[in-house]
Structure 1
Amino acid sequence: MRTLFVIGGARSGKSRYAQSRIEAVPGALAFIATAQERDPEMAQRIAHHRADRGPRWIAYEAPLDLPEAIHLAQTQADAILVDCLTLWLSNLMLVDRDLDAAAAALEREVLQCRVPLALVTNEVGQGIVPTNALARRFRDEAGRLNQRMAAAASEAVLVTAGLALRLK
């Protein structure tokens, strides 16, 4: 595995799948979190994910500067798990960052990464069309980002109901 792109819906098992694939790599592991503790429920989710990882894991928080975090993590770990791209995208949108420039920087870092890398993301385009402009923009931007990262990855997997389907 060089770069693994894992996509699925909410509670599909995508994070668990990506973590198990990265844990198969010997040595130190990096977990790059894009989530931010903005409310008690999110804090509980983050705590659950932290408890699920063992001492081999080095944690990084990158709500905005994901390419930089990947660059740093590969100097300190033998494999990297990023969870997740859609939270990163929403963080960028909230602070009005240039999304195309951010995606290009991420793509460059993904292609240059020297250690196995797993990218987790949500599939958001298979549901109904959102009723507001911001939600439609997020859905469209997530679709573009997911296509770009899937193309850059050496392997792409769709996870649904805990089952993995290899796409690429």
Structure 2
Amino acid sequence: MSHHHLIIGGQRSGKSRHAERLAMRWLAQSPDHAVTVLATATASDEEMRQRIERHRAERPTMFQTLEAPVHLGQALRGLADARRLVIVDCLTLWLANVLMPLLPQIPAVSASPWADLKADLLFALRSTASPVLLVSNEIGCGVIPMGADVRHFVDELGRLNQDVAQSCAQITLMAAGQAFTRDVEVWT
């Protein structure tokens, strides 16, 4: 069974903070344990730059942070070690970087490269020795977006979350800073 955990919820629901608390418990279990955060956010404007800086400042200092705005599966494979817990924060921004990049150094990808990047991430999750905490937003609970691009993004994030959940032993829904966790049922 997988040792991965999907933490999902709305914006400002406490997802990242919960992942950090779980990672601190992981560190307390053994002096050989380490934590690396794969950060997917890019500073596309001043407000986002401030969010990124706030996350960095609030993150425990013993956590290593690496940026992985596009090639998340590759980054995850590069960290594979049973003694290293990896926090992916977050899948929502990773998908936005891939489907709707705002920075010129991140080129837009077509449907085929997106499918390849997603398949690469799912393969990395199935094959890595590292336990992984994956943070993502649940954005499909509201009204259907008016624009085709936004509907496509919402649909792809929903599919991504479902596919990632298949590689996880636990899923936590965050609401108002409270964690609601359950073990994933495996269908055969």
The answer to whether TM tops 0.5 is yes
Summarize the Cα distance change of 1:76–1:151 in structure 2 as closer, same or farther, 3 Å threshold: closer
Q: Which amino acid aligns with 1:40?
A: E
Deviation at 1:99, TM superposition (A): 2.2
Cα-Cα RMSD: 1.6
The aligned length equals 168
Q: Percent identity?
A: 38
User: What is the DSSP-based 3-state SS (H/G/I as helix, E as strand, rest coil) of the residue aligned with 1:24?
Assistant: helix
Note if 1:30 corresponds to 2:36.
yes
Could you report, residue by residue, the CA deviation over 1:12-33 in whole angstroms, capped at 9, with x for unpaired residues? 1111111111121123210100
User: What is the DSSP-based 3-state SS (H/G/I as helix, E as strand, rest coil) of the residue aligned with 2:180?
Assistant: strand
**Distance in 2 between the 1:2 and 1:165 partners?**
18
User: What is the DSSP-based 3-state SS (H/G/I as helix, E as strand, rest coil) of the residue aligned with 2:134?
Assistant: strand
State the structure with more CA Rg.
Answer: 2
Structure 1 gap ranges (5+): none
Could you report, residue by residue, the CA deviation over 1:106-157 in whole angstroms, capped at 9, with x for unpaired residues? 1110111212210000001001110100000000000000000011111111
Deviation at 1:56, TM superposition (A): 1.5
**Distance in 2 between the 1:135 and 1:17 partners?**
28
For 1:120, the equivalent position in structure 2 comes to 135
For 2:4, the equivalent position in structure 1 comes to 3
**Distance in 2 between the 1:42 and 1:142 partners?**
20
Q: Kindly indicate whether the alpha-carbon contact (under 8 Å) linking 1:28 and 1:77 is maintained by their aligned counterparts in 2.
A: yes
Instruction: State the TM-score, normalizing by the size of structure 2.
Output: 0.84
Which among 89, 92, 96 is matched to residue 95 of structure 2? 89
For 1:130, the equivalent position in structure 2 comes to 145
**Distance in 2 between the 1:76 and 1:30 partners?**
12
Q: Which amino acid aligns with 1:71?
A: R
**Distance in 1 between the 2:82 and 2:40 partners?**
19
**Distance in 1 between the 2:70 and 2:126 partners?**
19
Summarize the Cα distance change of 1:77–1:48 in structure 2 as closer, same or farther, 3 Å threshold: farther
Q: Which amino acid aligns with 1:142?
A: L
Q: Kindly indicate whether the alpha-carbon contact (under 8 Å) linking 1:25 and 1:78 is maintained by their aligned counterparts in 2.
A: no
Structure 2 gap ranges (5+): 28-32, 101-107, 184-188
For 2:116, the equivalent position in structure 1 comes to 101
Which among 136, 140, 143 is matched to residue 158 of structure 2? 143
Q: Kindly indicate whether the alpha-carbon contact (under 8 Å) linking 2:82 and 2:130 is maintained by their aligned counterparts in 1.
A: no
Instruction: State the TM-score, normalizing by the size of structure 1.
Output: 0.94
Question: Which 4+ stretches in 1 moved above 3 angstroms?
Answer: none
Could you report, residue by residue, the CA deviation over 1:38-78 in whole angstroms, capped at 9, with x for unpaired residues? 11111111111111123311111011010111112235962
Q: Which amino acid aligns with 2:154?
A: R
